[in-house]
Amino acid sequence: MVTNTEVKELGHFINNEIVAGLSGHFSDVFNPSSGAVIARVPIATKEEVQGAIATAKSAFPAWRALSVGKRVEIVMKFRQLMTARMDTLIDIICIESGKTIEDAKGEITRGLESVDLAINAPHLLKGDYSVNVGGDINAYSAKVPLGVVAAISPFNFPVMVPLAITSLAVAVGNSVILKPSERVPCSALFLSELWKEAGLPDGVWTVINGDKDAVNELLENPAVEAISFVGSTAVADYIYTTGSKYGKRVTALGGGKNNMIVMPDADLEQVANAFLGAAYGAASQRCMAISTIIPVGEETANNLVKVLADKISKLKVGPYTDSDVDFGPVITKQSKDAIIGYIDRSLEEGATLVCDGRHPDIAENSNGFYLGPTLLDNIKPGMEIYEQEVFGPARNVVRVDSLEEAIDLVNAHELGNGVTIFTNNGAAARKFTTEIDVGMVGVNVPIPIPVGYYNFAGWKRSRFGEGHMFGPDQVRFFTKTKTISEKWFEENSESVSTFAFPSNND
């Protein structure tokens, strides 16, 4: 566990032990609420990553051979330990990511949905069986694990995303290597201790800390069969292209530019309340955060902006230790500076500043990376702040005249992660859900993130590859199908050679 005053030298988790880094290179881990360094995380060498992969590969045969029931018992124990230690995990998340207690708890709860799905591995692994497909031959299929698989997770969900992209991989019999963001390594190392306590055998779960060199080794090493990634679109593209080049199965989820369309018949009070949490929760550092609100019609836009301005002005930003805050800081000073740059340039491009969060009061007496909520009106397609995913509390209003214009606007963007509409008109909702070219769609739901047993993934340049972050398609991603045809001969039965291509005519 990390505290505000302790600067701890972290390690990797290999072969069920915390091991010191050997490179001599470290990255500082900050408490975003105070700006203080709380830990130093080692940056692995290529050789360290190779050693971790070799350990995982050695552990795979015994783990694969263990019955799925026994594997699931360990997953269930892990879940029990997570629930029992939730307060400690919440504290770690809040300290290293700046999230509020409520938000951290929500993240863990959603992460547990992925663990729950993994507990269903015996059902999800069931194959097919056909009797006498021809010539007294029975045919059946079996889903078998791949081997060593790697997961690369982002800073914004230090628990939920790692659980989402590893839990089922473990349950179906793979050895898993997690490379967490070097900004939030403490949560991943804590999960490692829980896996060990749950009884996971040595080498099945590995955490390797590092930078691009570590990632490249995971992408290029022939012992790694699959890569699951969540992060920015540019990096997702690189992960997919490089991993595919080396013959790996790759799912790489990128950024999202998520929109909320507001129809004239919608209740603007409900819309505004839904928008606040969906847009500014976790300091807007969610891939499913609402970036842009799109009111249909000038009257709708004017009234909505007025309601939003009043509510946004009352939001409070601060440290997680203050139970009254709505959201905390952004992850680093570099992120804060970049977000301010987006706001400044949007104003130069003609945007209207409704609420200015560039210099919140708390920033006067704190070294934390704080930004208040900013709302910009009259944003147009082509502006940098509209086109780019801004990972911070600067949100946009784009005005349109019709639902058709709103749909066309959303469909024209290169990203297609999430979108939602607020309306009381069923026909409008049906038109929207039918015509929108986005992977996750909501109707009067502010953040349309699916539950853990539905597939999560965007479209267009929000996803590279055909896998998903969670949901039943993960079983297909983390296994390969073996099809067996078998025939048993009776004693003393006659047989003859045949040179015709096998068929089911017999």
Q: pLDDT in tens for each of the 506 residues of the chain? A: 444 457 899 999 999 999 999 999 999 999 999 999 999 999 999 999 999 999 999 999 999 999 999 999 999 999 999 999 999 999 999 999 999 999 999 999 999 999 999 999 999 999 999 999 888 899 999 999 999 999 999 999 999 999 999 999 999 999 999 999 999 999 999 999 999 999 999 999 999 999 999 999 999 999 999 999 999 999 999 999 999 999 999 999 998 899 999 999 999 999 999 999 999 999 999 989 999 999 999 999 999 999 999 999 999 999 999 999 999 999 999 999 999 999 999 999 999 999 999 999 999 999 999 999 999 999 999 999 999 999 999 999 999 999 999 999 999 999 989 999 999 999 999 999 999 999 999 999 998 888 878 888 888 998 999 888 888 889 999 999 999 999 998 887 777 777 767 776 65
Task: Provide the number of structural domains found in the chain.
Answer: 2
Answer whether 368's CB lies under 8 Å from 35's CB.
yes
CATH of the domain at 119: 3.40.605.10
Residue that has been written with the tokens 């847009």 in this structure: 279
Q: Is 214 found in the same domain as 265?
A: no
Q: Is 287 an annotated catalytic residue?
A: yes
Q: What's the pLDDT score for residue 468?
A: 83
| Residue 242 lies inside a defined structural domain of this protein | yes
Which strands form 249-253's sheet, in the order they lie side by side? Answer: 17-19, 12-14, 205-207, 175-179, 148-152, 224-230, 249-253, 463-464
Residues 232 and 105 in one domain: yes
Could you tell me if residue 342 is inside a domain?
Answer: yes
Looking at the structure, tell me whether residues 157 and 169 fall in a common domain: yes
- Is 61 a member of any domain? yes
Q: How many CA atoms lie within 13 A of 4 on its CB side?
A: 11
| pLDDT given for residue 219 in this prediction | 98
Would you tell me the crossing angle of helices 185-198 and 86-97 to the nearest 10 degrees? Answer: 160
Measured CA to CA in angstroms, residue 411 lies from 100, 279, 397, 432, 479 at distances of 34, 20, 17, 11, 33
State both tokens at 299: 């009257």
Q: Give a yes or no: residue 114 inside a domain.
A: yes
Provide the residue range defining the domain that includes 113: 8-254+462-483
User: Which residue, chain included where needed, has tokens 């490089």?
Assistant: 242
Alpha-carbon gap, residue 489 to 253, rounded angstroms: 50
- pLDDT (0 to 100) of residue 275: 97
Q: Are residues 246 and 328 in the same domain?
A: no
CA-CA distance, 114 to 471, in Å (whole number)? 8
Asked, for residue 494, whether it belongs to a domain, the answer is no
Do 326 and 285 sit in the same domain of this protein? yes
Whether 235 and 269 map to the same domain: the answer is no
The predicted model scores a pTM of 0.93
Are 59 and 105 members of one domain? yes
| Residue 489 in domain | no
Assess whether 249 and 263 both reside in one domain. no
Active-site choice (94, 186, 287, 355): 287
Let me know whether 127 and 248 are in one domain: yes
The answer to whether residue 492 is domain-embedded is no
Residues 239, 264 within the same domain: no
Domain contains 496: no
Same domain, 216 and 284: no
User: Tell me, what CATH number does 425's domain have?
Assistant: 3.40.309.10
- Could you count the other beta carbons within 10 Å of the beta carbon of residue 5? 9
Give the CA angle between residues 336, 342, 347 to the nearest 5°.
130
In the three-class reduction of DSSP (H, G, I as helix; E, B as strand; rest coil), residue 163 is classed as: helix
Q: What is the number of alpha carbons within 13 Å of residue 250 lying toward its C-beta?
A: 26
pLDDT score for 3: 46
- Same domain assignment for residues 406 and 436: yes
Residue 466 has a pLDDT of 83
Nearest to 284 by CA among 429, 389, 406: 389
- How long is the chain? 506
Can you give the pLDDT at residue 2?
A: 46
